[in-house]
Structure 1
Amino acid sequence: MNKTIRNIGIGLFLAGVAFQIGEFVEKEEITSTSAITQDAYDQAQQELSDVKKQLATLQLDLNNAQQVQTNAPEEPTETETTTKHTPSETSMTLSIQLGMASSEISAKLEDAGIILNKVDMDNYLSDQGLAGRIQVGNYELNSSMSLKQIAETITR
């Protein structure tokens, strides 16, 4: 009878060890799977960041091309007399106060006619990491400036 109880005890012990080993292997598989998922997530975030930077650059190029097109003098036709037209340039003094968000500044610039689209300016500042580097002060800006030039001016 003692041998039977001892054999049952040994069997229970071995069964417990087997369950522990199985659980340990299962946890290790889950951990390695989530590591792959984290790597894939990090890679996707990097690609998203790259695409945002490319988009900001393209938006800047588009805005510059639109400004050049609006500021470019039209070529006179043969029947017209050649009079020189200077495109009207809008200027303003932008006053940036403590606590102003980049979206507020972009809206002021659009309202004043300095930029064509406040969303482009706000996206450019955010994508280039400049939204948090805007400095308090007064800045002379005009409509012939590109988004990059405006951003450089207000983030010195």
Structure 2
Amino acid sequence: MASKDTFRGTAAGLFLAGALLASIYYLQPETLAFESDLEENQEDGRGISSLEEQGYIILTEDEQSNEQARKEELISENKTLELQIAELKQSIDDHEELDTSESSSESEESEDTYYSILSVEQGMTSKDISNRLVTLNIIESARPFEQELSDKGLENRIQIGEYTLNNKMSIEEIITMITS
């Protein structure tokens, strides 16, 4: 009979061999799978077309070197573009700093101009229109607009339509526009 040490040695050897084979299988499954697929396809006579059907991309050495060169070219172009973007951002920042001091009054005026379309519909009263003008930020208060319409007797002469107005227009200009 064999001794316990012989059985233990054999068991340990089989365990290590199994562990080694398992680690090779799990660490390199794609390589082994590719090689087995390649062998099967060569035996079937289908070869490259079968691999392409399975999703593999087959390149010749020239195509591979061309793709590698194209990749390097794109990386270089990308770096160049990133540098240009950084330069443009810096240029914009510099330009904005110069323009800030020179055009602060101009930008404040242009930022405060609101353009809106006033839609006058049938049945709207002068009060409805003045409230709408306040909502659109064309006038600050409805009261002076209503008073001006009343003073000129134009409350009933408001025309139906759409009017493009801005908050820089005077009350007289707005009244002239919507009553003509």
TM-score (norm 2): 0.41
Larger radius of gyration: 2
TM-score (norm 1): 0.47
Q: Greater helix share, 1 or 2?
A: 2
